[in-house]
Amino acid sequence: MNRALRKLAVLLLLMAGFWSVPGSAHESQPGLLEIRQLTTERWEIVWRAPIYYGKSHPARLALPADWRPVGEPSVQRLASADLRRQVVTVPPGTLNGSVIGFPGLEQTITDVFVRLARLDGSEASQVVRPSKPEAVLRGERPWHVTAGEYLVLGFHHILLGIDHLLFVLGLLVIVRGNRMLVKTITAFTVAHSITLGLATLGYASVPGPPLNAAIALSILFLGPEMVRVWRGHTSLTIRHPWVVAFCFGLLHGFGFASGLSVVGMPRAEIPLTLAMFNVGVELGQLAFVALILLSYRAMRTLEFRWPRWAELGPAYAIGSLGAYWTIQRTAMMF
Amino acid sequence: MKRLGLLPWLAAGLAALPGAAQAHLVNSGLGPFYDGALHLLLSPGDLLGLLALALLAGLRGTTAARAAVTALPTALLLAGLIGLTLPVIPNLAWLSTLAFMLLGVLVAFDVRLPPVIIAALAGVYGTLLGLLNGSTLATMDAGVGSLLGIVLTAFMLVLLASAAVVPLHAFWARITVRVAGSWVVAVGMLMLGWLAQGAV
């Protein structure tokens, strides 16, 4: 099993460098737009645009033309975002159906959470994606619409998380046998679901920079283990890969939580959105595993034969990428 | 009869899609790599060509399939990189349609080509796809990331489809594959008809 998988991993890794551009294995932080009612006609707009690869985010906020600004907006530069506050007057009865645009968002991979809070205590939220960079404000939204948005968000989040996918790929190369494969993937899933839940509900938190460095370290860790498999040696990881998958899965769960902003989420919606986001992550992960296993079978059917030394490529590539990200992310902490 | 009734609609739909896809690169919201992958998956002409090539290679056995799986993405990548630097290529939908029709004919007649010819066909088809897609990407301000999305998706499609056909030895199973080839030809003929009428 491992040999053909290693060949496949070589091909995937050749693409990985470009795949990650501009992702570079960083979590993509979502944007946040809060619209809070102050009086009958006055609303406070808080636009939190994440720093995008070290620069101001290219997306702008385009409010409806009939929303009149009151005073000058305040702009504040935070460590991870630009914060813009503005009070506007909205003609009574016109809020529902208003369209807020985010020109420039379509050039990015950033999702934006939009939260609307009224004086009567009612709240509504939605997710704006780069493929359709606008939010149409409505009152009540059916629960399944919100659920669907968060499911897609989770699915997209794992597809963009090349570091998570590389970790799973490394596990697939190490694991021997279908039973152990199921056990390992399940352990990873259970572990990251636990920490995703804890982090989202606010029971636990890990600062971003050391977390990202630790996630990179988990990828670096798998490189030498893959070499051991190639040499026919054994280790705790090779004998019990599910243990490693579980331990590092706890870290990766905190990473997934960074894609789920609870700041702008109505509290009543947190259980549903958290569950659906996690389901989306799992579906993405299963799709990736299925694609790898199908490709592995196909390569075996076609009897691809590569030089034995080339089979070490994935181990060194995964290890090198892990080392690079570990050094880079550690350096960013200081 | 019922199948034939569906075919024109299918062809019309497929013929209409590439035009829309060429207007601008599909925005997946996931960055250029996935935009490129989605671009290929939403280009029915390219998909039919890749399917026909995979069926043809699979029918000819392991060696031929392996040759196609190697030659196609290599040619696609190299030609795509060249295509990215080329000035705008005029709409050559008829050429890509003729190319996948030819592949469909070879599948339908189960033509016994040696692996080296299969590899050559994969290389030529990959070059054609690469030049067209590279040039299209250039007009959309898309770059190497999108091209790689196209290449990896094409590689996966041909790998999976050809490996699915290789183990088929039963007479009826091979006939089914050949029927799929004839469908590719039929869809191509209808698409050519629409192209000739200027509907696309």
Cβ contacts of A255 within 8 Å, gap of 6 or more = A27, A161, A163, A164, A211, A212, A215
Nearest CA in chain B to A22: B31
Q: Is residue B94 within 8 Å of B192, Cβ to Cβ? A: yes
pLDDT at A22: 41
Residue B6 is assigned to a structural domain of this protein: no
Burial class (CB in 10 A: 0-12, 13-18, 19+), A96: exposed
- Among A53, A302, A303, A304, which would you mutate to test the B interface (most chain B Cβ atoms within 10 Å of its Cβ)? A302
Residue B66 is assigned to a structural domain of this protein: yes
pLDDT at B139: 82
Give the domain range for residue B156.
Answer: 26-196
> Own/partner pairs for A258-261, CB < 8 Å, 24+ apart?
A258/A27, A258/A29, A258/A208, A258/A211, A259/A27, A259/A28, A259/A29, A259/A30, A259/A111, A259/A153, A259/A154, A259/A157, A260/A30, A260/A150, A260/A153, A260/A154, A260/A157, A260/A196, A260/A200, A261/A30, A261/A32, A261/A113
Q: CA A59, CA A100: separation in Å to the nearest integer? A: 12
B163/A129 touch (CB, cutoff 8 Å), yes or no: no
The alpha-carbon gap from A243 to the nearest alpha carbon of chain B, in Å, equals 31
Picking from B34, B151, B152, the nearest residue to A159 by CB comes out as B34
Average pLDDT over residues A206-214: 87
Query: Which of A112-126, A137-151, A211-225 shows the highest mean pLDDT?
Result: A211-225
Residue B95 is assigned to a structural domain of this protein: yes
What are the tokens at A301?
């059917």
Confidence band (pLDDT; 50, 70, 90) for B4? very low
Residue B17 is assigned to a structural domain of this protein: no
**Is residue B7 scored above 80 in pLDDT?**
no
Q: Measured between beta carbons, which residues in chain A are less than 8 angstroms from residue B163? A: 297-299, 301-302
Counting one residue from chain A and one from chain B, the pairs whose CB atoms sit within 8 A come to 66
> Using alpha carbons only, how large is chain B's radius of gyration in Å?
16
A18/B27 touch (CB, cutoff 8 Å), yes or no: no
What separation in angstroms does the CA of A205 have from each of A38, A193, A200, A240, A310?
32, 14, 9, 28, 41
Q: Is residue A114 within 8 Å of A128, Cβ to Cβ? A: yes
Q: Of the ranges A18-22, A144-148, A167-171, which one carries the lowest mean pLDDT score?
A: A18-22
Q: Measured between beta carbons, which residues in chain A are less than 8 angstroms from residue B155? A: 11
Nearest CA in chain B to A295: B160
Q: Measured between beta carbons, which residues in chain B are less than 8 angstroms from residue A22? A: 31
A19/B148 touch (CB, cutoff 8 Å), yes or no: yes
Q: Measured between beta carbons, which residues in chain A are less than 8 angstroms from residue B65? A: 302
pLDDT at A51: 80
pLDDT at A28: 57
A302/B66 touch (CB, cutoff 8 Å), yes or no: yes
Residue B159 is assigned to a structural domain of this protein: yes
Q: Look at phi and psi of residue A54 and say left if phi exceeds 0, alpha if psi is from -120 to 50, else beta.
A: left
pLDDT at A264: 54
pLDDT at A21: 44
Residue B146 is assigned to a structural domain of this protein: yes
Q: Which residue has the tokens 């619209």?
A: A35
A302/B29 touch (CB, cutoff 8 Å), yes or no: no
B163/A130 touch (CB, cutoff 8 Å), yes or no: no
Residue B173 is assigned to a structural domain of this protein: yes
- Among A155, A162, A297, A301, which would you mutate to test the B interface (most chain B Cβ atoms within 10 Å of its Cβ)? A301
Q: CA A186, CA A325: separation in Å to the nearest integer? A: 26
Query: Which of A10-14, A102-106, A289-293 shows the highest mean pLDDT?
Result: A289-293
Residue B52 is assigned to a structural domain of this protein: yes
Structural domain count of chain B: 1
A19/B33 touch (CB, cutoff 8 Å), yes or no: yes
- How many other CB atoms are there within 10 angstroms of residue A234's CB atom? 10
The alpha-carbon gap from B3 to the nearest alpha carbon of chain A, in Å, equals 31
Q: Measured between beta carbons, which residues in chain B are less than 8 angstroms from residue A159? A: 30, 34
Q: Are strands A68-77 and A81-89 parallel, antiparallel or unpaired?
A: antiparallel
Cβ contacts of A105 within 8 Å, gap of 6 or more = A31, A58, A59, A112, A128, A130, A133
**Is residue A150 scored above 90 in pLDDT?**
no
Q: CA A133, CA B117: separation in Å to the nearest integer? A: 48
Picking from B145, B155, B160, the nearest residue to A294 by CB comes out as B160
The alpha-carbon gap from B197 to the nearest alpha carbon of chain A, in Å, equals 33
Cβ contacts of A91 within 8 Å, gap of 6 or more = A41, A66
- Of B157, B139, B148, whose CA–CA distance to B33 is shortest? B148
Predicted ipTM of the assembly: 0.81
- Among B24, B25, B33, which would you mutate to test the A interface (most chain A Cβ atoms within 10 Å of its Cβ)? B33
For residue range B23-70, what is the model confidence (pLDDT) as tens digits? 456 777 788 888 899 889 988 889 999 999 999 999 999 999 999 999
For residue range A12-33, what is the model confidence (pLDDT) as tens digits? 655 554 444 444 444 457 888 9
Q: Which residues of chain B approach chain A closer than 8 Å at the C-beta?
A: 27-34, 62, 65-66, 69, 144-145, 148, 151-152, 155-156, 159-160, 162-164, 166-167
A160/B152 touch (CB, cutoff 8 Å), yes or no: no
DSSP letter for each residue of A236-263: HHHH-HHHHHHHHHHHHHHHHHTTS--T
For residue range A56-80, what is the model confidence (pLDDT) as tens digits? 888 889 999 899 999 888 888 887 7
Q: For the whole model, what pTM was predicted?
A: 0.79
A22/B65 touch (CB, cutoff 8 Å), yes or no: no
A130/B27 touch (CB, cutoff 8 Å), yes or no: yes
Nearest CA in chain B to A13: B152
